[in-house]
Chain A
Amino acid sequence: MGNKQTVFTQEQLDAYQDCTFFTRKEILRLFYRYRDLAPQLVPLDYTNKPAVTLPYELIGSMPELKDNPFRQRIAEVFSEHGDGSMTLDDFLDMFSVLSEMAPRDLKAYYAFKIYDFNNDDYICKSDLEKTVNKLTRNELTPEEVSLACEKVIYEADVDNDGKLSLEDFQHMIVRAPDFL
């Protein structure tokens, strides 16, 4: 059934289909997008699981990501080494979570990690300030940014520890129907 492809073994494709939200055709299409970023680095044959990692600069130049103000954080969250460089597995994982078929809780979990700049499992005030700056392109003064962040923490912090934990964040997402 379907076209014969030589990039992956059937077991590898099955594993990818079970672990991401993509169909076989979409996985192959994503592989070719990954390869187009650096044709000389990425081999056409993945059956023996080569360890190929593309640096962040190539990932961040993709048309889907290049205008997103959070592209660096997105790449860092999904990359294996935490520095934005991605293997094919990370690449597929990233697009699987960003696709429209991923459920909201999964997206909320990763959104939390993206906004958590210092990776301490809490969104503290400095994380929020960086988020606001990225969202508004440095158009607000530092006092305005600080005030806005204080208000956010005041409103969303349920357990009153001065920072947002994953549960606070998910609690807020449940009430926000516009979250994408």
Chain B
Amino acid sequence: FLCDAEKDFIVSLASMSAKERIKAIQKLPETMTKKREIRNKVLNEITKQWRHRGAEPSCWTQSVQGAGVSFRRFGNTISEYFHLLQMWHKALKIIGAEFGTSVLSYFVFLRWLLYFNIFSFLINFGFITVPQFLAAEPNNLSFTGLELLTGAGYFQQTVLYYGFYTNATISKIENGPSYNMQLAYIFTVGIYFVICFLILLFSMAKSFCRNFLNPEAYTVRASKLLCTWDFHITNEKAVKLKQKNLSTQIKEDLTEVNREVIDFSVMQRILRLAVHLLAWVACLGAAVAACTGVYFLSINNLKLFMKGHRNYLESQAAMLVLPVVASLLNTLIPFFFSWLGHLERFQTPGQHIYVTITRNIILKMSIVGILCYYWLNVVATSESQCWETLVGQDIYRLVLVDFIFCLLGSFFGEFLRRIIGTTIYVSLGLPEFDIARNVLDLIYAQTLTWIGILFSPLLPGIQMIAFFIVFSVKEVSLLRNCQPPCKVWRTAQMKTSFMFLLFCPSFLGVLSVIGVTVWRLKPSEGCGPFRGLPSMYAAVSEWIRILQSYTASKWVVWIYHNLITSELFFFILSSIVLIVTYLYWQIIQGRKTMTKLLHNQINN
């Protein structure tokens, strides 16, 4: 017996498209038997509706339905195989089960960055390297194994670096289709960065929307109780830890030892402020000192390089000093920061985490910044033969040494620490996986890779291999050496913060460096696809000038002059974006007032 509401529901389901109907049935909070019943009723309703439309013989409708069903089955099989393409699906499930979603978020982030590198490598290889192979010059340098570490020597004359690429228009057949290497190079790199920008922007916006929308304090305690149980965990030890942690939190909440409520006297507040200020000054001082050290070391390096090669081995070793020092600074100074963080007493553990992350990111980005300054101002204007290749080699060495330090960090930080924690100092126990430090290392490595794409097109391929190895090593190390995290970690907020850090100092910084290189710097005379031009961007302006003489491509020229290079267009675009943002903000304010009014209405 159907009641009216159910009948209406079935009729509305029957009128939807197949995909929407399946989604609606899947989302019903009913038992499987009921769902199956509803599904069968809906299918009957659909056949009834077909018959009502009339004039169609039943075998035609049946065959159409049958075709629809088999098409859906085909689509399902395809999506099954597509799921297999998602790498490490099983490993991620195991990590999530044993350690919870906070540690899982690091590995998901690593896999996401890996996808960026795979995409970049594929398009660079396809559009830039493969055509270069057709027009390659012979390489008469010898290969010694040391090149893998230093990136110089034999590799200098290979497709690894900018300097090897030709500036010619490649064509194999006479009067056949030609391939303009200059345009290919600049457009491939440009389009890749535009796509990355859009992907990062949309992911960040989506994540921000979901996770930061309403951190109203009044539901914090209730949601802590009812919403933070991590149903992913199936490991008994992890479950016990989480329970202990939750009970400690509830006890703290009840006794209200929460530092926020305690009133400090004026004297104490000034003292705390002074301590915080001192700590910040110390951190910024350490960062500035590190940057100065790196700068002078690199200037020294350049002088040595320009003076000439004394001993081959010695000069190769000298080239490695800068990356090793940079990585050492990146590894050791954060320990200093965390020691300082323990000295100052923060009001909440959340504040502590955010301040530590901010200081670390300031350190890493300033080291990258000073290196970029050195490359763009000193190396580019030096009298070296091919400064882009030099920069590419520097970045290659930095990436490689950072990778080695990452593996070493895992070895010392987790493996040795476990050995010490279980045999010598048993009170220390097993190490925990340090999520923040590892994620910041990933962001640093990816920033270097993005900067290096212009100077060494195959660098994403190397970083891709490095990330593969890092994932496997970290996964094994995690499962064997670490224990599940004790502290509460607001995963969703952290995920958003990490994506934001990847976008804001890292990617935007990379965009500005690439922008300065393409627009302002003079490419070297003797090598690379842009030799002889006043700037890399001049290739595009040249091309537009050539296009102007063809009538068929006048629209391209029009777009270029009136949309891309015109300031008025960008002004109008920015104003529109600002107006839309303001409108949305007003809508949100209006909705907030509405919610408050409704809330009061329900209460009374």
With an 8 A cutoff between CB atoms, is B22 at the interface?
yes
Give the number of residue pairs across the A-B interface with Cβ within 8 Å. 163
Q: In chain B, what residue has the closest Cβ to A128?
A: B225
With an 8 A cutoff between CB atoms, is B57 at the interface?
no
- Cα distance A153–B228 when bound, in Å? 17
**CB-based contact B211/A177 at 8 Å:** yes
Against A, the Cβ 8 Å flags (1 = close, 0 = not) of B291-335 are 000000000000000000000000000000000000000000000
Q: Which of A24, A64, A140, A155 contacts B250 (CB 8 A)?
A: A140
Complex interface residues of chain A between 67 and 84 (CB less than 8 A to chain B): 67-70, 78, 80
Q: In chain B, what residue has the closest Cβ to A10?
A: B73
With an 8 A cutoff between CB atoms, is A20 at the interface?
yes
Chain A residues engaging chain B, CB cutoff 8 angstroms: 1-2, 14-15, 17-21, 23-25, 63-65, 67-70, 78, 80, 89-90, 92-93, 96, 98, 103, 105-106, 109-111, 115, 128, 131-132, 135-137, 139-140, 144, 147-148, 151-152, 155-156, 158-160, 169, 172-180
With an 8 A cutoff between CB atoms, is B265 at the interface?
no
- Cα distance A172–B221 when bound, in Å? 11
**CB-based contact A144/B234 at 8 Å:** no
Beyond A172-B222, A176-B223, is A67–B236 a contact (Cβ under 8 Å)? yes
Beyond A89-B33, A136-B247, is A68–B225 a contact (Cβ under 8 Å)? no
With an 8 A cutoff between CB atoms, is B76 at the interface?
yes
The 28 listed contacts between A and B (C-beta, < 8 Å) are: A1-B73, A14-B73, A15-B39, A15-B40, A19-B35, A20-B26, A65-B234, A67-B234, A67-B236, A67-B239, A78-B31, A80-B31, A89-B32, A92-B32, A105-B27, A106-B27, A106-B29, A131-B226, A139-B247, A151-B222, A152-B222, A169-B226, A172-B219, A172-B227, A173-B227, A175-B213, A177-B212, A178-B492
With an 8 A cutoff between CB atoms, is B377 at the interface?
no
**CB-based contact A144/B76 at 8 Å:** no
With an 8 A cutoff between CB atoms, is B77 at the interface?
yes
- Cα distance A137–B80 when bound, in Å? 40
Interface residues on B, range: 35 or more
With an 8 A cutoff between CB atoms, is B541 at the interface?
no
Determine the chain B residues whose CB is within 8 A of the CB of A69 once the complex forms. 239, 243
Determine the chain B residues whose CB is within 8 A of the CB of A68 once the complex forms. 231, 234, 239
**CB-based contact A175/B219 at 8 Å:** yes
**CB-based contact A137/B22 at 8 Å:** no
- Cα distance A12–B46 when bound, in Å? 19
Determine the chain B residues whose CB is within 8 A of the CB of A89 once the complex forms. 31-33, 36
**CB-based contact A178/B254 at 8 Å:** no
- Cα distance A92–B35 when bound, in Å? 12
**Given contacts A19-B26, A152-B226, could you give 4 more A-B pairs where the C-beta distance is less than 8 Å?**
A67-B235, A144-B254, A155-B222, A169-B226
